[in-house]
Amino acid sequence: MTVTLTAVGAGAREAWGRVWALDQDALVSQTPAWMDCVCASGPFEDATRAYATADGHELVLPLARRRLPLSVENSMPFGWSNGGLLSSRGRLTVADVSGVASDLARQHALLIGVKPSAATSAVWDMSLPSNVNRTPYMTHVVDLSGGFGAVWKRFHGSVRSRCRHAERIGVTIERDDTGRLMPVFYELYRRSVVRWAQQQHEPVWLARWRARHRDPWEKFRTVAQRLGPACRVMVAWRAGEPVAANIVLVHGSQAVGWRNAMDKELVRRTGAGQLLVCQALQDACEAGHSCFNLGDSAPSSALAHTKEHYGGEEMHYAGYRFERLPLTAADRFVRRGVKEVIGFRD
């Protein structure tokens, strides 16, 4: 089906608001407010594209353009969750994606990357030619149908035991959607960066440098301020100290675990991490969400197995890159070389 470009950037905002409200698979990370967070927190500008279809529907592809001499656009940039195409039909069709993909392939940008949600990735995959670069991802999604009682029964026995233990020893969960708890999350995130570096045999200074550039404090503060109730911070406390925290993004039928962090020493043998996830799932059930996305992880990793213990089901999907030069292959080559030099472990 032929699609016609109707607006770019700020000119696409009116259509964007209409279409996002109609798309059943829309995420918080596909909203104009999220794009404003991206642009306010990094070297990006709004390059979103709006289209009209031949049969009278509207399509919107949120795109953030990096402010560089060479044009690089992403939906969404790394570290900013999923993007992808929105449709006023309520659900994407192969014709919608094919039409927009043809437009993207004609653009002069050095790179246009799209990382759609797992729920829509199958439509993208069926619509794109084989020469479009694909990057595989895996996430885990918890089905919330039947309410929290049904979800609790699907937990692995060890998760239920640790949740009960956490409650017995006085672990409490605090929630906030005003941004008040975001500094608590960020301090735990800074500690987590050190732990992740040590686990992966990566120099701590390099991990801290990357975290400051990829995930500065201003990024999380801006998200909390601009999204309001759509951004929930949850903190697990024990004996007056924060031991674990997460950030949950909510909209419509979906809740997404965007980020999590903990103090590994303080959380050890408390069950606080399990109780925190348990409470996030219970809150999502009570709010009427139908699914909870636990986030990406590597196949067969310890993190992936942990998510399965909460009833998370594997969903494999892909990100797509429209390139004028073989940037993906070059990037993978460089990353492999760096990992070999520093002894990095996945």
- List pLDDT tens digits, range 137-162: 999 999 999 999 999 999 999 999 99
Q: Is the pLDDT of residue 206 over 70?
A: yes
Q: Is the pLDDT of residue 179 over 60?
A: yes
> Which residue is it, tokens 């039947």?
146
Phi then psi for residue 44, to 5 deg, are: -130, 155
Q: Is the pLDDT of residue 336 over 80?
A: no
Q: Which amino acid is at 112?
A: I
Domain parsing of the chain, residue ranges: 3-131, 140-316
Reported confidence tier of residue 86, pLDDT bands at 50, 70, 90: very high
CB-CB neighbours of 154 under 10 Å: 15
Q: Is the pLDDT of residue 340 over 80?
A: no
What is the fold of 140-316? Aminopeptidase (3.40.630)
Res 333: pLDDT:
37
Q: Is the pLDDT of residue 41 over 50?
A: yes
Interatomic CA distance for residues 346 and 185, integer angstroms = 24
Interatomic CA distance for residues 234 and 215, integer angstroms = 18
Domain at 3-131, CATH class? alpha beta
pTM for the structure as a whole:
0.90
Q: Is the pLDDT of residue 342 over 60?
A: no
Reported confidence tier of residue 328, pLDDT bands at 50, 70, 90: low
CB-CB neighbours of 31 under 10 Å: 22
Res 123: pLDDT:
96
pLDDT, one tens digit per residue, over 226-263 is: 999 999 999 999 999 999 999 999 998 899 999 999 99
Interatomic CA distance for residues 247 and 259, integer angstroms = 5
User: Nearest-CA neighbor of 129 among 316, 320, 1?
Assistant: 320
- Domain pair 3-131 / 140-316, same fold: yes
